[in-house]
């Protein structure tokens, strides 16, 4: 019962997003369902873990052009894009004002 109440609260929308999309707009509701889904949250956690591994492998001593340097640089770009997409989706779904109410989201942004 508590889990369902938390899920319902997570799916509740308020205000407008981007000054255009109200709480009942289909695109906003779809984005909110996506970012509130447990598999999405689990995927973000996996990306955080993998990003941390890539960060641990990075070193100024890596030879330019080495395989490891290319892998680390590619991972850095991929994770930057993925985390940027996550931020954009959550800000669109929740609205920037609502998203930034959470201290964790402020730190994340």
CA-CA-CA-CA torsion sign (56, 37, 7, 14): positive
- pLDDT-flagged residues of the chain (< 70): 5-11
* pLDDT for position 109: 79
Residue 53 neighbours by CB under 8 Å, 6+ apart: none
Q: Which of 37, 28, 20, 80 is nearest to 55 (CA)?
A: 80
* pLDDT for position 41: 95
* pLDDT for position 63: 94
Q: Is the entire prediction scored with pTM above 0.85?
A: no
What is the Cα–Cα distance from 23 to 15, expressed in whole angstroms?
A: 6
Q: Which of 88, 83, 92, 100 is nearest to 30 (CA)?
A: 92
Backbone angles phi, psi at 3, to 5 degrees: -65, -40
């Amino acid at each position: 019962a508590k889990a369902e109440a938390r899920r319902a609260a997570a799916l509740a929308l308020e205000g407008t997003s981007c000054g255009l999309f109200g709480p009942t707009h289909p695109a906003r509701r779809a984005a909110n369902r996506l970012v509130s889904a447990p598999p999405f949250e689990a995927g973000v956690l996996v990306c955080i873990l993998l990003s941390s591994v890539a960060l641990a492998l990075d070193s100024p001593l890596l030879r330019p052009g080495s395989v490891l340097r290319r892998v680390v640089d590619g991972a850095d770009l991929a994770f930057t894009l993925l985390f940027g997409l996550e931020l954009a989706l959550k800000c669109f779904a929740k609205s920037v004002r609502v998203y930034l109410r959470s201290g964790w989201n402020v730190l994340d942004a």
